[in-house]
Structure 1
């Protein structure tokens, strides 16, 4: 046989080693690792269904409404400078203002 040899064992020695593998262990003897093997049709369909459920944004509380709001640049910059979650902090500041002021 020409080309690279991956083992110096004879065929008989390889067969003897394979027969010596305990039967209670899970071995793949075709040279393909369990993680590298192609998925079965059932596994593929299960994976597609699972991924379809995880796609998109997380479900919100349903209590918020998206609007377009014009805000002074310095106010917006100040909230954005506080980092991630600045929109929630801006919402909290507006709620706090409503607690101390009459909206009418």
Structure 2
């Protein structure tokens, strides 16, 4: 997709478009698509290339909790690794720690 076709709208602008019937999505076509059609479209979409074979059955919705600011000392190579993954590296570090915490909680009985 070329960058000249990308448009941006505020939430309010989108709500206004929908209220006026200005939604340009072809929902009838979407509703008529089978799972096979959706999968074929995903396989043809380069934005899905890294995610097409991910097992989404184990995903869970995460509602962000309020964060606590702390100071922590980490090995330089760990920080470099996460920083190299781009913006949001602290969030990814948090996700790794949360996964570890969740895994440690398995098998332990509460109460």
> Is the pair's TM-score, using the shorter chain for normalization, greater than 0.5?
no
The TM-score normalised by the length of structure 1 is 0.37
The TM-score normalised by the length of structure 2 is 0.35
Larger radius of gyration: 1
